Structure 1
Amino acid sequence: MKPSLQVRLSQHLALTPQLQQSIRLLQLSTLELHQEVEQMLEQNPFLEVDDDGSATGDSSAAGATPAEVAAPSAPAEGAADTPWDGGSDTLGSEAASPADGDAPGMEPLDFNGGDREDWENGTEREDFDGRAEAPASRNAAPDDEDSDWTERNTVAPSLPDHLREQLLGMRLAPEDMLLVETLIDSLNEDGYLADALEEVAERLALILELGNPADPAADPQAAAEAALTLREDLLDRLRCALGWLQNLEPAGVGARDLCECLQLQLRDLPDSEARDAALAICRGQLEALAKRDLKRLMAITGASEDTVREAQALIVALEPKPGRRFTRAEANIVVPDVIVQKSGRGWKVVLNPDVMPKLRINDLYAQVLRQHRSQRTGDEGGANLSARLQEARWFVKNILQRFDTIQRVSQAIVERQKGFFTHGEIAMKPLVLREIADELGLHESTISRVTTAKYMNTPFGTFELKYFFGSSLNTEAGGNASSTAVRALIKQFVSAEDAKKPLSDSQLSQMLEEQGIQVARRTVAKYREALKIAPANLRKAI
């Protein structure tokens, strides 16, 4: 084979450390960003918290947007080409000059265009709702000075603490008290007993055997019989302890399955024929109740039709998860990144100041470093400190650029979905990532990063930015309807249906067609399941 010389022309993108950091910060959620800030504050001495709020945190309060403070002249993709301003070492007045070069030890990464994400148009998503389950008053006025987005809920006692408080009022022997507390520790967050009594007895027996080892000279058969007797005794005492636990409030706590949970709650109700019928149904006939099999329920309970209906009403009113109200509400809180406010006849987007890190460059350290560089040149230690100072400048600038990009994307979404902020989700329009990307001159992958795990507070609640994107469906008039609006219509139809004659998927499809929206029955079933609406046969009232 003869050697040959070939010439190839190719293009590739080299990501500088600054651009890599900009892309990484852009895709972080609020919680992850604050963790990143805390880590940077510990590692970089040139970075400090701005207690006066004159930097990143309160830039909008000072009458300037983050874009005006940081002066980012390009989005995330073009950050590598953004010129750095010259000036002093304070935030917003100086950033590292390209003449300074990259920080030592930070080489550009050769990147061959593999950063494009697969989620192109935002039309196929598992989370159809996109709504943040934020309890309490999430629709409060965003400009209220007393509102604190990070402390919405008061701290409530947990389920174990609530049960132990009641246990203190019971006159139990110390051993029995310990067994009840052991069962309390075995409860899951719904209030159900997660471990079988036999497993708990086995663990306790092993602990007791380790604490009191058997005599090596003892008869092995006698030792085995003693161990078996210990386990049986523990199991009997655990059954008594479970009875005491199940008598505590809330009713149904300590149950081992749904049937037992419902029966425990029914036993606290006044005696009646309906209650007895409900107990019979909960002993193992919940499947017949779910299928609305009235004849089978009447045969099982031996009750009349009216009594079975009353029994159903009793069961529906019960709590299937007794520990639900003790679940930590803080886990469900979502702090919005942007807030939508009414502005004249339109809407404007403002950044939530509570989520913006308040950072600045330490002026004293920066001045000392400048004096050191002017007096000594070629010092390796000074070069390392210069790299850390430049790293701090990059970090502050990239954070400001991150919030500026989020605000720009959010404002573009609001302009496209004005109908939603006035009339709700039924007025949502079709929207894909490419439309916002073309309008702002960004890449679709950047829009995907911005809309993931970023939340917007609206008059109708707090939503993930991705919620405002949806595929389009054809209409008879030749226009397009958003899939979100179609789901809202389905929800309206189901809420207004006759409980005795619920609407099937085919009927819902016909009703949508009467509205001029062409949706197949399978698509209706898909949207119905996404809305967590049961099929027609399970929605039918007995």
Structure 2
Amino acid sequence: MSLAPSLQLRQSQSLVMTPQLQQAIRLLACSNLEIEGFIAEEIEKNPLLEAGRTDDMATPERSEKSDAAPDGADAMIDGGGDARESLDVDWNEAAFHHDSASDMAGGSFDGALGQSGGGSLGGDLGGGSAGSGEAIDFDGFAGAEPTLHDHLQRQAGEVLDGPQLAIALALIDRIGPAGYLDARLADIANDIGAPLAACEDALTVIHGFDPCGVGARDLAECLALQAKEADRYDPAMACMIAHLDLLAKGGLAQLKRVCGVDDEDIADMIAEIRSYDPKPGLRFETGETQSIVPDIFIERRGSGKQVGWSVEINSATLPRVLVNRHYYAEMARGAASKSKAWLNECLASANWLVKALDQRQRTIVKVASEIVKQQEGFFLHGVAQMKPLTLKTVADAIGMHESTVSRVTSNKYLSCARGVFELKYFFSSGIQSSEGGEASSAEAVKSAIKSLIDTETPKKILSDDTLVDLLNAKGFGIARRTVAKYREAMGIGSSVQRRRQSKLSAGERRAG
């Protein structure tokens, strides 16, 4: 065998993804918030891109020019077209042509569908007028809420000064969001170089601050501080707080014996303990609640055998992107060859972006429409009628790859008469029927388990074995371990835990 170098020719085929195709695939998995950030970056980089406004959409000249925009843009990408041609076209208007109710500023939902009837859906999602498209954010005028540390530092400054104030501020810095001291007092004293006795005195002062229970080192101390504030910290209450493990296990007989009280007193003490706040610092949490903005609107049309479904994209959550073709024509008129080549690249990139966004929204609508078709029982009758559904089933039905459907359903939400649901919610495994019929969705089984447990009586708590028998009677062929797994996934305790909770609740009612 010769080891000399040689030159050979080989022919092979391979699939190469262009950077633009890779970017388009990534856009499918992005949420609307991520898309907004991506578009903002593209507008900064590309001088031919600009953010559209709602009043731009109502301009007659803009609408007339948009009719022939797609063909002209394709020609520009391919290197053809006239650079002097008017290029200021609203691509979102041309591509979607009021594809959803939210495309029309202040327009009615039925108008977008060509249906008669009143009521609008999504058109005023932003809360603004038809002219501006933007709502006044009244929350922006509100001042920042004080944090737990700010609240405690202000109180410390009112009652302490000098070295004792410095120690108290150091301790406050070590208090976590729940209101507990997150480090050992001896370690804090060593870190700040202060005597342990001085740290204990400062912590005692902090224990008197609002909210009551703040600065505690564990749950027992937190509850004890609140009991003292309520003037309920007698020997029996102190004994109960010292034996919280027995309370958690529901060992009422042992608690009564240890605390030396009767049934009425123990029930009253348990009710008092439950009225305390185990995490007093959380009331100062200032994290803003982010509401979910749906990507898709689903509405029922017709009745009886003529039931249909309207699937509408919520384009109000996406910024409108325009290609400034006037600017391109002016810059290209007297530009040098290198500058003109750069402008052509910017134009091709801008046209690709609006096409990618168009394709993204159409793909979302296509996938959502198939989900509604597959899960029509859920939209008509609720979760009990959900069917098993996989990504492959939807992908085969619409002629797309399974990975594409997976990307489309990530971080996307659907709004219907039954609420707002993530698209992933409608995909679940199946449970075979005990009667040999059609399989049931795992979500339907969870709903049945929750319904059975919600209707159980304190005297007849349902065990997992009993739940299996009842579910089999309903037609669900399910094993005991599956019932336990679904029950735990829903945060429902075992029959022993529920029976213990029922006893504690009964004791509180008697005390009341």
One-letter identity of the residue aligned with 1:399: L
In the alignment, which residue of structure 2 is the partner of 1:349? 311
Write the deviation string for residues 291-348 of structure 1: whole angstroms up to 9, x where unpaired.
Answer: 2222222233222233333333333343332233333352553332223334444443
1: distance between equivalents of 2:168 and 2:39? 44
After superposition, the C-alpha distances for 1:171-225 in whole angstroms (9 at most, x for unaligned) are 33254444444333333222222233333333433xxxxxxxxxxxxxxxxxxxx
1:360 Cα offset (Å): 1.3
Deviation at 1:446, TM superposition (A): 0.8
Residue type of the partner of 1:512?
A: L
Q: Distance in 1 between matches of 2:155 and 2:34?
A: 40
Tell me, yes or no, if the aligned pair for 2:463 and 2:495 is still in contact at 8 Å: yes
Mapped pair 1:521 → 2:480: yes
Distance 1:249 1:471 in 2: 50
Q: Which residue of 2 aligns with 1:122?
A: none
State the AA in 1 paired with 2:325: D
1:381 to 321, 330, 339: 339
* 2:222 alignment counterpart: 261
Aligned to 2:113: none
Structure 2 counterparts to residues 18-37 of structure 1, below 5 A = 18-37=20-39
| Structure 1 position 173 matched with structure 2 position 135 | no
1:50 aligns with 2:52: yes
Structure 1 alignment gaps of length 5 or more: 72-81, 95-139, 206-230
Distance 1:390 1:171 in 2: 68
Deviation at 1:26, TM superposition (A): 0.9
Matched, 1:197 2:189: no
Q: Partner of 1:425 in structure 2?
A: 383
Q: Which residue of 2 aligns with 1:392?
A: 350
Q: CA deviation at 1:53?
A: 5.9
CA distance in 1 between counterparts of 2:494 and 2:331 reads 70
- Whole-Å separation in 2 of the counterparts to 1:70 and 1:245: 68
Q: Tell whether 2:407 aligns with 1:449.
A: yes
Matches of 1:298 and 1:309 in 2, distance apart?
10
- Contact kept, 8 Å, 2:207 with 2:215, in 1: the verdict is yes
Please identify which structure carries the higher helix content: 2
Q: Deviations over 1:105-127 (max 9, x none)?
A: xxxxxxxxxxxxxxxxxxxxxxx
Amino acid at match of 2:254: R
Gap change, CA 1:144 and 1:41, over 3 Å in 2? closer
Alignment match of 2:428 (pick from 470, 474, 477):
470
- Aligned partner of residue 267 in structure 1, secondary structure: helix
Give the corresponding residue for 1:213: none
Cα 1:309–1:238 shift into 2, 3 Å: same
Counterparts in 2 of 1:487 and 1:412: CA distance versus 1, 3 Å = same
Residue 420 of structure 1 aligns with an amino acid whose one-letter code is F
Evaluate the alpha carbon distance shift between residue 93 and residue 517 of structure 1 in structure 2; reply closer, same or farther with a 3 A threshold: closer
> Contact conserved, 1:163 with 1:184, CA < 8 A, in 2?
no
Provide the C-alpha distance between the structure 2 equivalents of 1:509 and 1:9, rounded to a whole number of angstroms. 62
Say which of 306, 310, 327 aligns to 1:365: 327
Do the aligned residues in 1 keep the contact of 2:148 with 2:285 (CA within 8 Å)? no
Distance in 2 (alpha carbons) for counterparts of 1:146 and 1:92: 21
| C-alpha spacing 1:464/1:533, structure 2 compared with 1 (3 Å) | same
Return the structure number with greater relative CO, CA threshold 8 A, min gap 6.
1
SS in 2 for 1:491: helix
Any conservation in 2 of the 1:277–1:308 contact (CA below 8 Å)? Answer: no
From 402, 409, 414, the counterpart of 2:367 = 409
Aligned partner of 1:313 in structure 2 is 271
The answer to whether the Cα contact below 8 Å between 2:148 and 2:284 also exists between their aligned partners in 1 is: no
- Is 1:504 aligned with 2:463? yes
Change (3 A) 1:381 1:69: closer
- Does the 8 A contact of 1:505 with 1:521 survive in 2? yes
Name structure 2 gaps, 5 residues minimum. 72-76, 93-119, 129-134, 504-512
| Letter paired with 2:320 | K
Alignment partners' CA distance in 2, 1:490 and 1:507: 11
Q: Note closer, same or farther for the CA distance 1:151–1:8 as it changes in structure 2 (3 Å cut).
A: farther
SS of 1:350's partner is strand
Q: Percent of pairs identical after alignment?
A: 36
Decide which of 162, 177, 188 is 2:176's aligned counterpart: 188
Q: Distance in 1 between matches of 2:176 and 2:214?
A: 10
Closer, same or farther in 2 for the Cα pair 1:53/1:409, shift >3 Å? farther
Partner Cα separation in structure 2 for residue 289 and residue 332 of structure 1: 37
Shift of the 536–141 alpha-carbon distance from structure 1 to 2, 3 Å rule, reads farther
Q: 1:31 to 1:146 in 2, by over 3 A?
A: closer
Q: Judge conservation of contact 2:178–2:279 (CA < 8 Å) in 1.
A: yes
Identify the match of residue 198 of structure 2 among 226, 234, 237: 237
Match of 1:336 among 291, 294, 319: 294
